[in-house]
Amino acid sequence: MRRLISKQISLKKRTGVFGLLLLIGMLISACHKEDEKGYVMDAKQFAMSVKQEQLYQSEVLARLEKGQGSPALANLANMRRLSSAAYNNDLASFDFLKDTNSFDLSEKHVFNLVNADNKMGEEHLRTLLSMLIDSDQTLIGLHVKASSNQGVQDERLRFWAREKISSLQRNLDEVQKIKL
């Protein structure tokens, strides 16, 4: 008789815990509904973010170019200027993004640049290269996010962002190859 009572109590405890977990799971899933028509980022937000990141990169590249007359760094800066100009021309072709011209570097970017400028010689250049790598990764991340099915609402911009990922990846690869 005691065994039967123990088994019944044990079974009630297990089903009670399971039931409680099931109830919590249902409550959580009921509270979290995805907005099927919601988008992760606004097109203007995307444009502002990438333009700000490109402004930061141009500041980093200007500092790298001054660094000890390295041909690899000068070549990198020249190639990036050309690709950046083409990128900005492409981005400007989206009429609804033309209002995104006035912006400044973020506080984080300014802090990073000041911190790098406080270093000397090869340490300064390595810091700048590291900052450029981080910035390239940020740009790639923004494009991946924007190009997803729920990235930005404008389908043409999503497609464009997806197309740019490979060239941004090449930029990152080129920087990572530079050895000081």
What confidence score (pLDDT) does residue 33 get? 40
**The pLDDT of residue 69 is above 90:** no
What is the C-alpha to C-alpha distance for residues 34 and 31, in angstroms, rounded to an integer? 10
Q: What is the pTM of this model?
A: 0.75
Q: What number is the average pLDDT over the span 134-153?
A: 92
Distance CA 85, CA 89 (A): 6
Model confidence band, residue 35 (pLDDT cutoffs 50, 70, 90): very low
